[in-house]
Structures are given as structure tokens and as C-alpha cells.
Amino acid sequence: MTRSYLPGILAMAAVVVASNILVQFLFGQWLTWGAFTYPVAFLVTDVMNRVYGVDAARKVVVSGFVVGVICSLIGTQIMGEFGPLVTLRIAIGSGLAFLTAQLLDVAVFNRLREGVWWRAPLASTLIGSSVDTALFFSIAFSGALTFIEPGNDVSWAGEVLPLLGAGPQAPLWVSLAVADWLVKLSLALVALVPFRVLTAKLTAQVA
């Protein structure tokens, strides 16, 4: 690990810690504040990939995963109104989703890195974000995976309601997942601006 990777590692750690804290606070009916900070992790990974290469990006991802595991362990020891702030299913879902999605982001970005500048970050983030959402919400809240943590009652997440309050009938956790996914897709487009600025600045410093 070289010193040049340190800002990326610190940035990823900051995003993971902030997201783990902000996920405890609701934003409207379907989202938490963490939904707006977590997608920045993909920006950090993509910037590192563009400027320092695929190996550097993977190291930053692993560092973020380790920080996330530590946050989850701490969360399991903090009791909230309905039990631990972080349940086993949430911890497993969070860790597996993060590691899978981020490494997929790195691989897709690396495959497309020779194309036009926006294609690699946009495609990798869209694919990674979609996988992240699908893995986390299904592992954490789907009734089909109750066996992961039988003592954790997630029946509230299976309550059937109109999708996002207006669509077809679906379990509550599906609405939460769709809302989260839509935010990630929107931020993937917005992130192209800071990606362009940061990569240009950092590439000039490295050259």
C-alpha cells in the first residue's frame, strides 16, 4: 500500500462510518439519510480506479469492508428501542452487499476504462448499485431468508402495501429497496461531475 492510496482509504472509511450512523435516521417514509451518503462509496472507488488502477481500487474496497464490519460489530452491542441497532441479518446483508457490489464495480470499470470517460463510472456504478440494493434488502428483510436469524422478527418488513404508496401491492421491504435504488441511480448521474473534476486534478498531481 502506498501513501498515495491513503486519501482514498480515509474517504471510503468516512463514507462507511457516516452511512452506518445516518441509516438510523429516516428521510421521509421510504428512505434514511444513509441512502444519500452510501453511494459516494462508488465515486471513491471509481476515482481510485481511474487514477491509481484496479489494484488500488480493490485495496480501498477492502478497507471499507473492514470498517463496515467494525461498525456492524459495534452496532450489535448498542441496544435501541426494539433491540440491537444492527441485527445479524443486517450485518450479513450490509457486508456481503458492500463487498460484492464494490468489487463488481471495480471489475466493470476496469473492463470499460478505455472507452469514453463517462461510460466506465456510470455503467459500473449503475450495475454495482443495483446488485448492492438487491442483496442487502433481500438478505436483511425478505421473509424467505428468515432462517438466517430465526429469532429476529422482520414480519413488519413483509407487510403488503402499495409500492411506494401508489403502485401495485408489494412487501414493505420492496418499497424500501426501490426507493433506495432510485436514489442510487440518480446520484450515479450526479457523481459524474465530481468524478470528472477529481480525476483530472489527481491525474495531474500523479503525472
3-state secondary structure of 202: helix
Question: pLDDT exceeding 90 applies to what percent of the chain?
Answer: 76
**pLDDT tops 60 at residue 2:** no
Strands 26-27 and 31-32: antiparallel
121 versus 87: the higher-pLDDT residue is 121
How far from the centroid of its chain's Cα atoms is residue 128's Cα? Answer: 8
State residue 76's pLDDT score. Answer: 79
Instruction: Report residue 153: phi and psi, to 5°.
Output: -80, 110
Closest alpha carbon to 39 in 147, 166, 157, 136? 136
Q: Answer positive or negative: Cα dihedral of 89, 91, 94, 97.
A: negative
Q: How many domains are contained in the chain? A: 1
State residue 6's pLDDT score. Answer: 87
State residue 205's pLDDT score. Answer: 82
How far from the centroid of its chain's Cα atoms is residue 19's Cα? Answer: 9
Phi-psi region of 5 (alpha: psi -120 to 50; beta: other; left: phi over 0): alpha
Domain of residue 99, residue span: 3-206
The answer to whether 119 and 91 are in contact (CB under 8 A) is no
State residue 207's pLDDT score. Answer: 65
Q: How many residues does the chain have?
A: 207
The answer to whether 89 and 152 are in contact (CB under 8 A) is yes
pLDDT in tens, 7-60: 899 999 999 999 988 988 889 889 999 999 999 999 999 999 999 999 999 999
Cell numbers given for 75: 452496532
State residue 97's pLDDT score. Answer: 96
pLDDT in tens, 61-114: 999 999 999 998 888 787 766 667 788 999 999 999 999 999 999 999 999 999
Distance CA(151)–CA(79), nearest Å, equals: 16
Verdict on whether the full-model pTM lies above 0.85: yes
State residue 43's pLDDT score. Answer: 97
How far from the centroid of its chain's Cα atoms is residue 169's Cα? Answer: 26
**pLDDT tops 60 at residue 115:** yes
Alpha-carbon distances of 200 from 7, 11, 27, 140, rounded to whole Å: 16, 18, 34, 38
What residues form DSSP beta bridges with 31?
27
What residues form DSSP beta bridges with 169?
162
Whichever domain contains 180, its CATH number is: 1.10.1760
Average pLDDT over residues 129-150: 95
**pLDDT tops 60 at residue 1:** no
pLDDT in tens, 164-182: 999 899 999 999 999 999 9
**pLDDT tops 80 at residue 155:** yes
